[in-house]
Structure 1
Amino acid sequence: MTPTRISCIIIEDELPASILLEMHIAKFDFLDLKGKFMSTNNALGYLKTNNIDLLFLDINLPGKSGIEFAKSLPKDIGIIFTTANSQYAVEGFDLEAIDYLLKPISLERFSKAIQKYSKIQKTNQQFEKLAQAEIEQPFIFVKCERKTLKIYLNEIDYFESQGNYLIIHTEKDSFKTHQSITEMIEKLPEGFFFRIHRSFLIPLKKVSQFNSRSVTIKNKILPIGRLYSNATINSLQLFNSN
Protein backbone atom coordinates (compact mmCIF):
# COMPACT_ATOMS: atom_id res chain seq x y z
CA MET A 1 0.00 0.00 0.00
CA THR A 2 1.39 3.40 -0.97
CA PRO A 3 1.75 5.69 2.08
CA THR A 4 -0.30 8.86 2.22
CA ARG A 5 1.67 11.88 0.99
CA ILE A 6 3.15 13.85 3.86
CA SER A 7 3.75 17.56 3.40
CA CYS A 8 6.72 18.83 5.39
CA ILE A 9 9.08 21.75 5.90
CA ILE A 10 12.57 22.16 7.34
CA ILE A 11 13.35 24.86 9.90
CA GLU A 12 17.12 24.83 10.26
CA ASP A 13 19.67 27.66 10.40
CA GLU A 14 22.74 25.52 9.63
CA LEU A 15 23.12 25.05 5.87
CA PRO A 16 24.93 21.65 5.96
CA ALA A 17 22.24 20.20 8.27
CA SER A 18 19.47 21.61 6.09
CA ILE A 19 21.01 20.12 2.93
CA LEU A 20 21.41 16.71 4.60
CA LEU A 21 17.77 16.69 5.67
CA GLU A 22 16.69 17.63 2.16
CA MET A 23 18.73 14.75 0.75
CA HIS A 24 17.14 12.29 3.18
CA ILE A 25 13.64 13.56 2.40
CA ALA A 26 14.24 13.14 -1.33
CA LYS A 27 14.72 9.40 -0.81
CA PHE A 28 11.07 8.98 0.28
CA ASP A 29 8.55 9.46 -2.53
CA PHE A 30 5.68 10.15 -0.11
CA LEU A 31 7.50 13.02 1.62
CA ASP A 32 6.61 16.32 -0.06
CA LEU A 33 9.06 19.04 0.96
CA LYS A 34 7.27 22.39 0.73
CA GLY A 35 10.03 24.70 1.93
CA LYS A 36 13.15 25.40 4.00
CA PHE A 37 13.44 28.19 6.55
CA MET A 38 16.30 29.62 8.58
CA SER A 39 14.20 30.75 11.55
CA THR A 40 10.84 30.22 13.21
CA ASN A 41 9.79 33.76 12.28
CA ASN A 42 10.23 33.02 8.59
CA ALA A 43 8.37 29.72 8.90
CA LEU A 44 5.47 31.19 10.89
CA GLY A 45 4.13 33.23 7.99
CA TYR A 46 4.16 30.17 5.74
CA LEU A 47 2.39 28.01 8.31
CA LYS A 48 -0.40 30.56 8.71
CA THR A 49 -1.45 30.14 5.08
CA ASN A 50 -0.44 26.54 4.31
CA ASN A 51 -1.35 23.15 5.78
CA ILE A 52 1.71 21.17 6.78
CA ASP A 53 1.76 17.66 8.24
CA LEU A 54 5.31 17.45 9.56
CA LEU A 55 8.11 19.78 10.69
CA PHE A 56 11.80 18.99 10.87
CA LEU A 57 12.55 21.52 13.56
CA ASP A 58 15.96 22.50 14.89
CA ILE A 59 15.97 23.44 18.57
CA ASN A 60 18.80 25.99 18.56
CA LEU A 61 17.50 28.72 16.28
CA PRO A 62 17.89 32.50 16.14
CA GLY A 63 15.04 34.33 17.89
CA LYS A 64 12.46 31.90 19.28
CA SER A 65 13.86 28.43 20.00
CA GLY A 66 12.42 25.35 18.39
CA ILE A 67 11.03 24.22 21.76
CA GLU A 68 9.15 27.49 22.32
CA PHE A 69 7.94 27.52 18.74
CA ALA A 70 6.62 23.95 19.03
CA LYS A 71 4.53 24.94 22.08
CA SER A 72 2.65 27.46 19.93
CA LEU A 73 1.77 25.01 17.12
CA PRO A 74 -1.51 23.09 16.64
CA LYS A 75 -1.43 19.56 18.03
CA ASP A 76 -2.13 18.01 14.64
CA ILE A 77 1.25 19.09 13.23
CA GLY A 78 3.87 16.40 13.69
CA ILE A 79 7.29 17.49 14.94
CA ILE A 80 10.66 15.80 14.57
CA PHE A 81 13.27 17.76 16.50
CA THR A 82 16.83 17.98 15.22
CA THR A 83 19.77 19.26 17.28
CA ALA A 84 23.42 18.74 18.12
CA ASN A 85 22.69 18.71 21.88
CA SER A 86 21.12 15.63 23.50
CA GLN A 87 20.27 17.64 26.66
CA TYR A 88 17.02 18.81 25.03
CA ALA A 89 15.67 15.34 24.33
CA VAL A 90 13.51 15.02 27.45
CA GLU A 91 11.89 18.41 26.94
CA GLY A 92 11.30 17.56 23.28
CA PHE A 93 9.47 14.35 24.12
CA ASP A 94 7.44 16.16 26.79
CA LEU A 95 5.94 18.11 23.88
CA GLU A 96 4.83 14.79 22.34
CA ALA A 97 7.30 15.14 19.50
CA ILE A 98 7.41 12.27 17.02
CA ASP A 99 11.14 11.83 17.44
CA TYR A 100 14.38 13.53 18.39
CA LEU A 101 17.27 13.29 15.92
CA LEU A 102 20.83 14.02 16.94
CA LYS A 103 23.08 15.64 14.33
CA PRO A 104 24.66 14.53 12.10
CA ILE A 105 21.56 12.56 11.16
CA SER A 106 22.12 9.23 9.44
CA LEU A 107 19.69 7.98 6.79
CA GLU A 108 18.94 4.92 8.91
CA ARG A 109 17.98 7.02 11.94
CA PHE A 110 15.98 9.40 9.75
CA SER A 111 14.12 6.45 8.23
CA LYS A 112 13.12 5.14 11.68
CA ALA A 113 11.67 8.55 12.57
CA ILE A 114 9.62 8.62 9.37
CA GLN A 115 8.34 5.10 10.01
CA LYS A 116 7.29 6.16 13.50
CA TYR A 117 5.40 9.16 12.14
CA SER A 118 3.72 7.07 9.43
CA LYS A 119 2.54 4.56 12.02
CA ILE A 120 1.09 7.33 14.21
CA GLN A 121 -0.56 8.92 11.18
CA LYS A 122 -2.15 5.59 10.18
CA THR A 123 -3.46 5.02 13.71
CA ASN A 124 -4.97 8.52 13.83
CA GLN A 125 -6.68 7.96 10.49
CA GLN A 126 -8.16 4.69 11.75
CA PHE A 127 -9.51 6.42 14.86
CA GLU A 128 -11.01 9.16 12.70
CA LYS A 129 -12.74 6.58 10.52
CA LEU A 130 -14.14 4.81 13.57
CA ALA A 131 -15.34 8.07 15.05
CA GLN A 132 -16.99 9.02 11.76
CA ALA A 133 -18.62 5.60 11.54
CA GLU A 134 -20.11 6.08 15.00
CA ILE A 135 -21.50 9.45 13.93
CA GLU A 136 -22.98 8.00 10.76
CA GLN A 137 -24.36 4.93 12.57
CA PRO A 138 -26.02 5.94 15.85
CA PHE A 139 -26.44 3.19 18.41
CA ILE A 140 -27.80 2.40 21.87
CA PHE A 141 -26.59 0.15 24.68
CA VAL A 142 -29.26 -2.22 26.01
CA LYS A 143 -29.13 -4.64 28.95
CA CYS A 144 -30.31 -8.07 27.84
CA GLU A 145 -30.01 -11.18 30.01
CA ARG A 146 -27.13 -9.91 32.20
CA LYS A 147 -25.27 -8.56 29.17
CA THR A 148 -25.05 -5.07 27.75
CA LEU A 149 -25.41 -5.08 23.98
CA LYS A 150 -24.54 -2.40 21.47
CA ILE A 151 -27.32 -2.17 18.88
CA TYR A 152 -27.11 0.10 15.84
CA LEU A 153 -30.33 2.01 15.22
CA ASN A 154 -30.31 1.38 11.48
CA GLU A 155 -30.45 -2.39 12.16
CA ILE A 156 -33.63 -2.17 14.26
CA ASP A 157 -36.87 -3.17 12.49
CA TYR A 158 -39.18 -2.27 15.37
CA PHE A 159 -39.73 -2.34 19.14
CA GLU A 160 -42.52 -4.42 20.64
CA SER A 161 -43.77 -3.98 24.20
CA GLN A 162 -44.73 -7.17 26.09
CA GLY A 163 -45.76 -6.50 29.67
CA ASN A 164 -42.71 -5.32 31.63
CA TYR A 165 -40.39 -6.20 28.78
CA LEU A 166 -39.47 -4.72 25.43
CA ILE A 167 -38.56 -6.88 22.44
CA ILE A 168 -36.08 -5.31 20.05
CA HIS A 169 -36.50 -6.87 16.61
CA THR A 170 -33.42 -6.33 14.45
CA GLU A 171 -32.39 -7.45 10.98
CA LYS A 172 -30.63 -10.54 12.37
CA ASP A 173 -32.15 -11.33 15.76
CA SER A 174 -34.49 -10.26 18.55
CA PHE A 175 -33.47 -9.12 22.03
CA LYS A 176 -35.48 -8.89 25.24
CA THR A 177 -34.85 -6.09 27.74
CA HIS A 178 -36.57 -5.25 31.03
CA GLN A 179 -37.89 -1.73 30.37
CA SER A 180 -40.95 0.02 29.05
CA ILE A 181 -41.45 1.45 25.59
CA THR A 182 -41.69 4.90 27.18
CA GLU A 183 -38.27 4.47 28.81
CA MET A 184 -36.81 3.42 25.46
CA ILE A 185 -38.27 6.45 23.69
CA GLU A 186 -36.46 8.71 26.19
CA LYS A 187 -33.12 7.09 25.27
CA LEU A 188 -33.53 7.27 21.51
CA PRO A 189 -32.38 10.24 19.40
CA GLU A 190 -35.32 12.35 18.32
CA GLY A 191 -36.61 11.66 14.81
CA PHE A 192 -35.39 8.07 14.36
CA PHE A 193 -38.47 6.20 15.59
CA PHE A 194 -42.21 6.81 15.72
CA ARG A 195 -44.79 5.29 18.04
CA ILE A 196 -47.74 3.82 16.13
CA HIS A 197 -49.39 1.86 18.95
CA ARG A 198 -49.13 1.52 22.72
CA SER A 199 -47.06 -1.62 22.02
CA PHE A 200 -45.10 -0.71 18.87
CA LEU A 201 -42.34 1.75 18.04
CA ILE A 202 -41.02 1.76 14.48
CA PRO A 203 -38.45 3.43 12.19
CA LEU A 204 -40.47 5.13 9.45
CA LYS A 205 -37.85 4.30 6.81
CA LYS A 206 -38.41 0.55 7.31
CA VAL A 207 -42.12 0.73 6.37
CA SER A 208 -42.73 -0.95 3.00
CA GLN A 209 -46.49 -0.22 2.88
CA PHE A 210 -49.25 1.14 5.11
CA ASN A 211 -52.93 1.97 5.36
CA SER A 212 -55.10 3.60 8.00
CA ARG A 213 -54.98 0.53 10.23
CA SER A 214 -51.53 -1.02 9.86
CA VAL A 215 -47.97 -0.78 8.57
CA THR A 216 -45.84 -3.50 7.01
CA ILE A 217 -42.17 -4.00 7.87
CA LYS A 218 -40.48 -6.97 6.19
CA ASN A 219 -43.74 -8.87 5.73
CA LYS A 220 -44.65 -8.24 9.38
CA ILE A 221 -47.98 -6.41 9.69
CA LEU A 222 -48.12 -4.13 12.74
CA PRO A 223 -51.34 -2.48 13.91
CA ILE A 224 -51.77 1.28 14.19
CA GLY A 225 -53.49 2.24 17.45
CA ARG A 226 -56.59 4.41 17.30
CA LEU A 227 -54.99 7.17 19.39
CA TYR A 228 -51.91 7.19 17.13
CA SER A 229 -53.65 6.87 13.77
CA ASN A 230 -53.74 10.48 12.55
CA ALA A 231 -50.20 11.29 13.64
CA THR A 232 -48.86 8.05 12.15
CA ILE A 233 -50.49 8.52 8.73
CA ASN A 234 -49.43 12.17 8.57
CA SER A 235 -45.85 11.29 9.49
CA LEU A 236 -45.66 8.46 6.95
CA GLN A 237 -47.08 10.62 4.18
CA LEU A 238 -44.66 13.43 5.02
CA PHE A 239 -41.72 11.01 5.20
CA ASN A 240 -42.55 9.45 1.82
CA SER A 241 -42.96 12.84 0.15
CA ASN A 242 -39.40 13.89 1.02
Structure 2
Amino acid sequence: MNWFPGRSPAASASATCSAVCSCSIPNGTCWSSFPNRIAFLYRLKCTCMPSEPLQCLIVEDEDDAVHILRTYIAQMPCLSLVAVCRDTITADQVLQNQKVDLVFLDIDLPGKSGIEWKRGIAETMQVIFTTADVAFGAEGFELDAVDYLLKPFSYGRFLRSLDRYQRLQGKPAMDSSAVLLAENRPFLMVRVERMLRKVYVDELLYIEARRNHLLFYLDSGTVKVYQPIRSIEDRLPQAFFLRIHRSFIVAIRRVRAYSSTIIQVEDVRLPLGRSYQSSVQDVLSR
Protein backbone atom coordinates (compact mmCIF):
# COMPACT_ATOMS: atom_id res chain seq x y z
CA MET A 1 0.00 0.00 0.00
CA ASN A 2 1.28 3.45 -0.89
CA TRP A 3 1.09 5.91 2.00
CA PHE A 4 1.39 9.66 1.78
CA PRO A 5 1.82 11.95 4.79
CA GLY A 6 -1.22 14.10 5.50
CA ARG A 7 -0.76 17.84 5.83
CA SER A 8 -2.97 20.04 7.93
CA PRO A 9 -4.16 23.43 6.68
CA ALA A 10 -3.56 24.63 10.22
CA ALA A 11 -0.06 25.59 9.25
CA SER A 12 -1.35 28.39 7.10
CA ALA A 13 -4.17 29.53 9.38
CA SER A 14 -4.24 33.14 10.50
CA ALA A 15 -3.17 33.89 14.07
CA THR A 16 -5.99 36.37 14.64
CA CYS A 17 -9.73 36.55 14.01
CA SER A 18 -11.01 38.23 10.89
CA ALA A 19 -13.40 41.14 11.08
CA VAL A 20 -16.33 38.88 10.25
CA CYS A 21 -15.52 36.17 12.77
CA SER A 22 -18.39 35.64 15.21
CA CYS A 23 -16.67 33.40 17.72
CA SER A 24 -16.30 34.28 21.39
CA ILE A 25 -12.88 32.76 22.11
CA PRO A 26 -10.78 35.28 24.14
CA ASN A 27 -7.56 37.03 23.21
CA GLY A 28 -8.54 37.54 19.56
CA THR A 29 -8.39 33.84 18.68
CA CYS A 30 -11.03 31.89 16.80
CA TRP A 31 -11.76 28.31 15.79
CA SER A 32 -9.54 28.54 12.72
CA SER A 33 -6.56 30.01 14.53
CA PHE A 34 -6.70 28.20 17.86
CA PRO A 35 -4.43 25.15 17.42
CA ASN A 36 -1.77 27.24 15.67
CA ARG A 37 -1.84 29.99 18.28
CA ILE A 38 -1.72 27.78 21.34
CA ALA A 39 1.16 25.72 19.92
CA PHE A 40 3.04 28.97 19.31
CA LEU A 41 2.41 30.22 22.84
CA TYR A 42 3.49 26.92 24.39
CA ARG A 43 6.83 27.32 22.66
CA LEU A 44 7.08 31.03 23.36
CA LYS A 45 6.88 30.63 27.10
CA CYS A 46 9.63 28.03 26.98
CA THR A 47 12.08 30.86 26.37
CA CYS A 48 11.83 31.52 30.11
CA MET A 49 12.88 27.97 30.89
CA PRO A 50 16.46 26.62 31.12
CA SER A 51 18.44 26.20 27.90
CA GLU A 52 18.63 22.49 28.70
CA PRO A 53 15.25 20.73 28.91
CA LEU A 54 13.98 19.87 32.36
CA GLN A 55 14.31 16.13 32.92
CA CYS A 56 10.90 14.85 34.03
CA LEU A 57 9.86 11.56 35.59
CA ILE A 58 6.29 10.26 35.71
CA VAL A 59 5.45 7.93 38.60
CA GLU A 60 1.88 6.85 37.90
CA ASP A 61 -0.01 3.54 37.63
CA GLU A 62 -3.14 4.74 35.76
CA ASP A 63 -2.92 4.49 31.96
CA ASP A 64 -5.17 7.51 31.30
CA ALA A 65 -3.17 9.75 33.62
CA VAL A 66 0.11 8.60 32.06
CA HIS A 67 -1.23 9.35 28.59
CA ILE A 68 -2.35 12.86 29.56
CA LEU A 69 0.99 13.70 31.20
CA ARG A 70 2.90 12.35 28.20
CA THR A 71 0.77 14.48 25.89
CA TYR A 72 1.26 17.65 27.94
CA ILE A 73 5.01 17.14 28.34
CA ALA A 74 5.38 16.48 24.61
CA GLN A 75 3.84 19.91 23.92
CA MET A 76 6.72 21.59 25.74
CA PRO A 77 10.15 21.67 24.04
CA CYS A 78 11.63 22.74 27.37
CA LEU A 79 10.56 19.45 29.01
CA SER A 80 12.07 16.03 28.40
CA LEU A 81 10.51 12.79 29.66
CA VAL A 82 13.11 10.50 31.23
CA ALA A 83 10.87 7.56 32.10
CA VAL A 84 7.43 6.40 33.21
CA CYS A 85 7.34 4.26 36.35
CA ARG A 86 4.32 2.33 37.62
CA ASP A 87 5.59 2.08 41.20
CA THR A 88 8.13 3.65 43.54
CA ILE A 89 10.55 0.72 43.38
CA THR A 90 11.10 1.33 39.66
CA ALA A 91 11.28 5.07 40.32
CA ASP A 92 14.12 4.52 42.81
CA GLN A 93 16.05 2.62 40.16
CA VAL A 94 15.60 5.45 37.67
CA LEU A 95 16.81 8.07 40.17
CA GLN A 96 19.95 6.06 40.80
CA ASN A 97 20.88 6.10 37.12
CA GLN A 98 19.31 9.22 35.62
CA LYS A 99 19.33 12.95 36.26
CA VAL A 100 15.78 14.05 37.16
CA ASP A 101 14.70 17.65 37.77
CA LEU A 102 10.97 17.26 38.29
CA VAL A 103 8.73 14.33 39.25
CA PHE A 104 5.02 14.04 38.48
CA LEU A 105 4.04 11.75 41.33
CA ASP A 106 0.74 9.96 41.90
CA ILE A 107 -0.19 9.61 45.55
CA ASP A 108 -2.22 6.39 45.37
CA LEU A 109 0.35 3.88 44.12
CA PRO A 110 0.68 0.10 44.64
CA GLY A 111 2.95 -0.73 47.56
CA LYS A 112 4.52 2.44 48.94
CA SER A 113 2.35 5.53 48.43
CA GLY A 114 3.60 8.67 46.75
CA ILE A 115 3.51 10.49 50.10
CA GLU A 116 5.70 7.84 51.74
CA TRP A 117 8.11 7.83 48.81
CA LYS A 118 8.44 11.62 48.83
CA ARG A 119 9.46 11.52 52.50
CA GLY A 120 12.30 9.13 51.65
CA ILE A 121 13.90 10.94 48.69
CA ALA A 122 16.18 13.96 48.68
CA GLU A 123 14.52 17.18 49.85
CA THR A 124 15.92 18.95 46.80
CA MET A 125 13.92 16.72 44.43
CA GLN A 126 11.05 18.78 43.04
CA VAL A 127 7.69 16.98 43.01
CA ILE A 128 4.26 17.80 41.58
CA PHE A 129 1.68 15.48 43.14
CA THR A 130 -1.19 14.10 41.04
CA THR A 131 -4.24 12.39 42.53
CA ALA A 132 -7.97 11.89 42.10
CA ASP A 133 -8.58 12.37 45.84
CA VAL A 134 -8.88 15.98 47.00
CA ALA A 135 -8.30 14.90 50.61
CA PHE A 136 -4.60 14.29 49.91
CA GLY A 137 -3.86 17.90 49.00
CA ALA A 138 -2.92 19.35 52.39
CA GLU A 139 -0.55 16.49 53.21
CA GLY A 140 1.20 16.95 49.88
CA PHE A 141 1.91 20.63 50.52
CA GLU A 142 3.30 19.80 53.98
CA LEU A 143 6.05 17.89 52.16
CA ASP A 144 7.07 21.04 50.24
CA ALA A 145 5.67 19.79 46.95
CA VAL A 146 5.80 22.22 44.04
CA ASP A 147 2.09 21.79 43.42
CA TYR A 148 -0.85 19.44 43.68
CA LEU A 149 -2.85 18.48 40.55
CA LEU A 150 -6.34 17.07 41.00
CA LYS A 151 -7.23 14.61 38.22
CA PRO A 152 -8.40 15.18 35.58
CA PHE A 153 -6.45 18.41 35.08
CA SER A 154 -6.38 20.71 32.06
CA TYR A 155 -3.50 22.08 30.00
CA GLY A 156 -3.93 25.39 31.79
CA ARG A 157 -3.69 23.81 35.24
CA PHE A 158 -0.61 21.86 34.12
CA LEU A 159 1.02 25.08 32.92
CA ARG A 160 0.29 26.81 36.21
CA SER A 161 2.18 24.03 37.99
CA LEU A 162 5.19 24.62 35.74
CA ASP A 163 4.87 28.35 36.40
CA ARG A 164 4.96 27.65 40.13
CA TYR A 165 8.08 25.53 39.63
CA GLN A 166 9.71 28.46 37.83
CA ARG A 167 8.89 30.85 40.66
CA LEU A 168 10.21 28.48 43.30
CA GLN A 169 13.46 28.24 41.35
CA GLY A 170 13.71 32.04 41.33
CA LYS A 171 13.28 32.21 37.56
CA PRO A 172 10.99 34.34 35.36
CA ALA A 173 7.35 33.34 35.26
CA MET A 174 5.89 31.83 32.13
CA ASP A 175 3.89 33.78 29.60
CA SER A 176 0.52 34.32 31.31
CA SER A 177 -1.27 34.60 27.97
CA ALA A 178 -0.41 30.97 27.23
CA VAL A 179 -1.98 29.87 30.50
CA LEU A 180 -5.06 32.01 29.91
CA LEU A 181 -5.52 30.66 26.39
CA ALA A 182 -5.05 27.07 27.53
CA GLU A 183 -7.73 27.53 30.18
CA ASN A 184 -10.16 28.94 27.58
CA ARG A 185 -9.83 26.24 24.95
CA PRO A 186 -12.71 25.73 22.51
CA PHE A 187 -15.06 22.97 23.57
CA LEU A 188 -18.34 21.25 22.74
CA MET A 189 -21.11 20.42 25.18
CA VAL A 190 -22.33 16.95 24.21
CA ARG A 191 -25.06 14.72 25.58
CA VAL A 192 -23.66 11.80 27.59
CA GLU A 193 -26.49 9.68 29.00
CA ARG A 194 -28.64 12.17 30.96
CA MET A 195 -25.99 14.86 31.31
CA LEU A 196 -24.13 17.36 29.16
CA ARG A 197 -20.37 16.95 29.17
CA LYS A 198 -17.65 19.38 28.08
CA VAL A 199 -15.31 17.95 25.42
CA TYR A 200 -12.27 20.00 24.45
CA VAL A 201 -11.93 20.15 20.67
CA ASP A 202 -8.14 19.87 20.65
CA GLU A 203 -8.35 16.52 22.48
CA LEU A 204 -10.44 14.91 19.72
CA LEU A 205 -8.75 12.26 17.57
CA TYR A 206 -11.82 11.11 15.66
CA ILE A 207 -15.55 10.47 15.98
CA GLU A 208 -17.27 7.22 15.06
CA ALA A 209 -21.01 6.83 14.46
CA ARG A 210 -22.58 3.64 15.76
CA ARG A 211 -26.21 2.51 15.44
CA ASN A 212 -27.73 4.81 18.09
CA HIS A 213 -24.79 6.79 19.44
CA LEU A 214 -21.39 8.30 18.67
CA LEU A 215 -18.01 7.42 20.10
CA PHE A 216 -15.64 10.34 20.72
CA TYR A 217 -12.04 9.13 20.76
CA LEU A 218 -10.03 11.57 22.89
CA ASP A 219 -6.50 11.78 24.23
CA SER A 220 -7.91 10.79 27.61
CA GLY A 221 -10.17 7.92 26.48
CA THR A 222 -13.52 7.26 24.81
CA VAL A 223 -16.84 9.01 25.41
CA LYS A 224 -20.26 7.72 24.28
CA VAL A 225 -22.39 10.58 22.96
CA TYR A 226 -26.11 10.43 22.18
CA GLN A 227 -26.38 12.91 19.30
CA PRO A 228 -26.50 12.59 15.48
CA ILE A 229 -23.14 12.81 13.73
CA ARG A 230 -24.45 15.56 11.44
CA SER A 231 -25.27 17.84 14.39
CA ILE A 232 -21.73 17.41 15.72
CA GLU A 233 -20.16 17.91 12.28
CA ASP A 234 -21.95 21.24 11.91
CA ARG A 235 -20.49 22.47 15.20
CA LEU A 236 -16.86 21.49 14.53
CA PRO A 237 -14.39 23.93 12.90
CA GLN A 238 -14.19 22.94 9.23
CA ALA A 239 -10.54 24.00 9.01
CA PHE A 240 -9.52 21.27 11.44
CA PHE A 241 -12.00 18.41 11.07
CA LEU A 242 -12.82 16.30 8.04
CA ARG A 243 -15.62 13.85 7.22
CA ILE A 244 -13.98 10.78 5.67
CA HIS A 245 -16.87 8.31 5.79
CA ARG A 246 -20.54 8.30 6.67
CA SER A 247 -19.45 6.94 10.07
CA PHE A 248 -16.21 8.85 10.72
CA ILE A 249 -14.97 12.41 11.28
CA VAL A 250 -11.26 12.92 11.94
CA ALA A 251 -9.08 15.69 13.34
CA ILE A 252 -6.90 16.72 10.39
CA ARG A 253 -3.83 17.44 12.51
CA ARG A 254 -3.97 13.86 13.84
CA VAL A 255 -3.81 12.29 10.37
CA ARG A 256 -0.49 10.54 9.93
CA ALA A 257 -0.97 8.89 6.52
CA TYR A 258 -3.60 8.03 3.95
CA SER A 259 -4.28 6.05 0.79
CA SER A 260 -7.25 5.80 -1.57
CA THR A 261 -9.11 3.59 0.92
CA ILE A 262 -7.65 4.20 4.39
CA ILE A 263 -6.91 7.12 6.69
CA GLN A 264 -4.43 6.61 9.54
CA VAL A 265 -5.22 8.72 12.63
CA GLU A 266 -2.33 8.36 15.05
CA ASP A 267 -2.00 4.54 15.23
CA VAL A 268 -5.56 3.71 14.08
CA ARG A 269 -6.52 2.95 10.46
CA LEU A 270 -10.02 4.06 9.43
CA PRO A 271 -11.93 3.44 6.18
CA LEU A 272 -12.10 6.21 3.60
CA GLY A 273 -15.52 6.26 1.94
CA ARG A 274 -15.59 6.33 -1.85
CA SER A 275 -17.81 9.43 -1.99
CA TYR A 276 -15.38 11.31 0.30
CA GLN A 277 -12.14 10.47 -1.57
CA SER A 278 -12.05 13.63 -3.66
CA SER A 279 -12.66 16.08 -0.80
CA VAL A 280 -10.19 14.25 1.44
CA GLN A 281 -7.53 14.34 -1.27
CA ASP A 282 -8.11 18.08 -1.76
CA VAL A 283 -7.66 18.85 1.94
CA LEU A 284 -4.77 16.53 2.79
CA SER A 285 -2.70 17.35 -0.29
CA ARG A 286 -2.57 21.08 0.43
TM-score, normalised by the number of residues in structure 2: 0.42
TM-score, normalised by the number of residues in structure 1: 0.50
Larger radius of gyration: 1
Structure with greater contact order relative to length (CA < 8 Å, sep ≥ 6): 2
